[in-house]
């Protein structure tokens, strides 16, 4: 058996870690009020694996023999648990389906190659057999990019890159590292920091996502303002295609025509298998601080973020939560720790006397990195902008707390599902001038969807990444669906309303979660029908037989 470990088959993260609220005294009341769930009632635990009905593997004998010859007998698995784990990512849709035992098409085998030569052998064998290949990293995808098409008649092979997990070399003179694509975030950063370096890429999924997965979906981390999106960080690539390997050497910039690097980025397995990535790496910063601020309202906070983006300061993190998300943060705080120490006592009373409407307060985090002089100067520039927009500084304590807790959020979705509620996210990006419309339009569309369904629901938002010309808005929503209705149909009403609102207000279908199958219906609205023609032409030219992760990226009517 392989030694690659996986997330829970039914939810986020590893066994034994889950969201709990026994140390968060305000949480139960908040959830009761906003989502209409009574947490004093016992939840329904996830189903037992033994209850699942799992169809037998249809791996043809010939192909099985070729795969075993390629990677070794013990690295080809037709084990039920392996196949279930590799059937879905961790999207809301995935979690609902797997909990319901809805498994229309599992991969017929999971293959664990140890190196690029083995990847080549697997890719060639799969394509020669007219089978389907789905590359798999940490399995954290939430856009539906990992699931075999329900009606797929050909054999389906999940290619797990988990054994390609080594830092291969650091070019210290250039700040570049060559790293295998299957490495998980923490493992990679441990190998880098042991030598004094960091990549600085920290998506929410960090603990359970891989470098190759980040590349394949155009990921972005919470420090992207300094370190860039994965598209900026990625400088070179090795990608296995049927019968060949694309080799893009590490370059700071180049003018070699339409960028093949930028075609592989975001290709979600349809242009081959990424095996190695050259990435920008940085020396660990001398100072690193995350400071919390409060703004009297969302408009003031957004205006401040925009002013910071055109100022002489260049923070590593710019983040502001709307009033709802700020209230959520306060509701999940522990007693007398972190932010609560300041806000729960005299501060809010003081702000009220200053004329703040406490229902509208927005919490912001700004990160600073670099030498003392730079950090000091930037804090001064930001401080003036915060004041100009009526905000105040809270300090380092809440920032440090945020920094520690930042990877815990995905566990809440499973907690809610245990209790019959749906929680999910949709994120986007748009020019600064359009953000008010995007925000108001999306909040309105979400509430209208709740009303249509007749459910109690909640939507909150934060600005997560700033650029010269705009920013990413990240929405989280939760509601208690009607128990007599189909969960996913109700989910689709809300999710579709949000995605359509993005299109209608000039925003994109996703800033960093990719297209997958969930967002593909909006691709033509986003990049135009003619733009979709160009993308489809590229995919078809590389993979005329639709052997490489078919069904993701393009809307169904665009498949050939």
Q: C-beta of 219: minimal distance to a copy of itself in Å?
A: 8
- Judged by CB under 8 A, the chain residues 145 through 174 that form the site for a copy of itself are 171-174
Place of tokens 């960090």: 206
Task: Tell me the DSSP string of 84-107.
Answer: HHTT--SSHHHHHHHHTT--S---
* Interface residue with a copy of itself, options 175, 341, 383, 521 (CB under 8 A): 175
Nearer to a copy of itself, 254 or 387 (CB): 254
Q: Which of 195, 244, 337, 352 forms a contact with a copy of itself (CB under 8 A)?
A: 244
Among the listed residues 262, 357, 486, 489, the single contact to a copy of itself using CB under 8 A: 262
Residue with tokens 């003081």: 350
Residue 492: which residues within 8 A CB-CB, separation 6 or more? Answer: none
Sheet arrangement for strand 362-370: 392-395, 287-295, 362-370, 317-321, 457-466, 470-479, 422-431
Q: Is 241 in the site for a copy of itself (CB under 8 A)?
A: yes
Phi, psi of 345 (to 5 degrees): -105, -105
Burial of 507 from C-beta contacts in 10 A (0-12 / 13-18 / 19+):
buried
Instruction: Output the CA–CA distances (angstroms, integers) from residue 293 to 89, 281, 359, in the order listed.
Output: 35, 29, 16
Chain centroid, CA 138 distance in Å:
11
Its sign, for the CA torsion 327, 328, 331, 337, is negative
Cα gap 553→560, rounded to integer Å: 13
x/- contact string, 423-442, with a copy of itself (CB under 8 A)? ------xxxxxx--------
For the segment 274-313, give every residue that binds a copy of itself (CB under 8 A): 280, 282-283, 306, 310, 312
Whichever of 34 and 513 has its CB closer to a copy of itself, that residue is 513
Within 73-112, the residues that bind a copy of itself by CB under 8 A are: none
A 10 A CB-CB count for 55 gives 12
Binding status of residue 471 toward a copy of itself by CB under 8 A: yes
- Residue 267 CB, shortest distance to a copy of itself, in Å, is 5
| Binding residue (CB under 8 A) for a copy of itself from 470, 481, 550, 551 | 470
- Closer residue to a copy of itself in complex, CB, 126/331: 126
User: Applying CB under 8 A, which of residues 255, 346, 353, 483 lies at the interface with a copy of itself?
Assistant: 255
Known catalytic residue at 411: no
Taken as a whole, the chain contains a residue count of 560
Which one of residues 398, 514, 550, 551 is an interface residue with a copy of itself (CB under 8 A)? 514
Of the candidate residues 346, 468, 483, 557, the single one contacting a copy of itself (CB under 8 A)? 468
* Dihedral pair phi/psi, residue 443, rounded to 5°: -60, -45
Q: Among 62, 469, 485, 489, indicate the residue that binds a copy of itself (CB under 8 A).
A: 469
The active-site residue out of 88, 365, 402, 474 is 474
Cβ atoms 476, 35 nearer than 8 A: no
Nearer to a copy of itself, 229 or 424 (CB): 229
Q: Does 176 bind a copy of itself (CB under 8 A)?
A: yes
Q: Count residues contacting a copy of itself (CB under 8 A)?
A: 92
Under the binding rule (CB under 8 A), the answer on residue 534 touching a copy of itself is yes
Residue 59 or 119 having the CB closest to a copy of itself: 119
SS3 track for 30-64: HHHHHHCCCCCCCCCCCCCHHHCCCCCCCCCHHHH
Which token pair is 512? Answer: 């960093």
Binder of a copy of itself out of 17, 29, 65, 247 (CB under 8 A): 247
Binding test (CB under 8 A) with a copy of itself, winner from 193, 259, 345, 482: 259
Give the x/- contact pattern for a copy of itself in 214-233, rule: CB under 8 A: ---xxxx--------x-x--
| β-pairing verdict for 234-241 and 197-198 | unpaired
| Nearer Cβ to a copy of itself (57/209) | 209
- Binding of a copy of itself at residue 523 (CB under 8 A)? yes
Q: What residues are annotated to the active site?
A: 474
């Amino acid at each position: 058996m392989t030694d690659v470990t996986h997330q829970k088959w039914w939810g986020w993260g590893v066994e034994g870690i889950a969201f709990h609220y026994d140390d968060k005294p305000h949480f139960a009341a908040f959830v009761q009020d906003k989502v209409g769930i009574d947490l004093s009632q016992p939840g329904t635990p996830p189903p037992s694996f033994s209850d699942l009905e799992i169809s037998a593997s249809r791996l043809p004998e010939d192909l099985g023999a070729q795969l075993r010859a390629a990677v070794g007998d013990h690295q080809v698995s037709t084990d039920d648990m392996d196949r279930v784990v590799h059937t879905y990512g961790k999207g809301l849709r995935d979690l609902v389906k797997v909990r319901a035992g809805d498994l229309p098409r599992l991969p017929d085998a999971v293959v664990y190659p140890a190196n690029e030569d083995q990847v080549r052998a697997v890719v060639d064998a799969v394509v020669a057999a007219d089978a389907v290949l789905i590359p798999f990293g940490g399995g954290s995808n939430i856009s539906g990019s990992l699931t075999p098409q329900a009606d797929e008649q050909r054999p389906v092979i999940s290619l797990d890159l988990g054994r390609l997990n080594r830092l291969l070399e650091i070019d210290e003179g250039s700040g570049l590292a060559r790293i295998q694509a299957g490495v998980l975030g923490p493992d990679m950063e441990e190998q880098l920091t042991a030598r004094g370096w960091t990549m600085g890429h920290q998506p929410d999924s960090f603990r359970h996502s891989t470098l190759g997965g980040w590349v394949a979906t155009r990921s972005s981390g919470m420090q992207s303002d300094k370190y860039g999106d994965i598209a900026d960080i990625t400088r070179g690539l090795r990608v296995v295609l049927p019968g060949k390997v694309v080799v893009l050497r590490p370059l700071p910039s180049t003018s070699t025509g339409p960028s093949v690097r930028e075609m592989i980025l975001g290709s979600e397995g349809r242009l081959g298998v990424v095996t190695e990535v050259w990435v920008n790496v940085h020396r660990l910063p001398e100072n690193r601080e995350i400071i919390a601020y409060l703004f009297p309202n969302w408009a003031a906070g957004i205006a401040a973020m925009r002013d910071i983006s055109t100022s002489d300061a260049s923070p590593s993190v710019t983040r502001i939560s709307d009033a709802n998300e700020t209230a959520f943060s306060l509701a999940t705080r522990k007693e007398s720790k972190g932010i609560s120490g300041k806000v729960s006592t005299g501060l809010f009373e003081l702000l009220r006397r200053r004329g703040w409407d406490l229902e509208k307060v927005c919490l912001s985090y700004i990160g600073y990195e670099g030498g003392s002089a730079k950090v000091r100067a930037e804090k001064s520039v930001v401080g003036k902008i915060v004041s100009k927009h009526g905000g105040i500084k809270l300090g380092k304590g809440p920032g440090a707390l945020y920094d520690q807790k930042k990877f815990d959020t995905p566990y809440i979705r499973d907690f809610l599902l245990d209790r019959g509620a749906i929680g999910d996210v949709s994120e986007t990006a748009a020019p600064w001038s359009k953000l008010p419309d995007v925000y108001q339009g999306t909040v309105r569309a979400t509430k209208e969807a709740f009303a249509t369904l007749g459910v109690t629901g909640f939507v909150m938002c934060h600005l997560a990444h700033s650029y010269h010309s705009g920013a990413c808005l990240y929405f989280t929503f939760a509601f208690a669906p009607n128990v007599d209705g189909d969960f996913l149909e109700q989910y689709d009403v809300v999710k579709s309303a949000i995605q359509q609102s993005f299109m209608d207000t000039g925003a994109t279908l996703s800033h960093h979660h990719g297209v997958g199958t969930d967002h593909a219906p909006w691709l033509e609205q986003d990049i135009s029908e003619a733009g979709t023609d160009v993308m489809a032409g590229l995919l078809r030219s590389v993979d005329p037989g639709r052997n490489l992760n078919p069904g993701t990226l393009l809307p169904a009517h665009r498949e050939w």
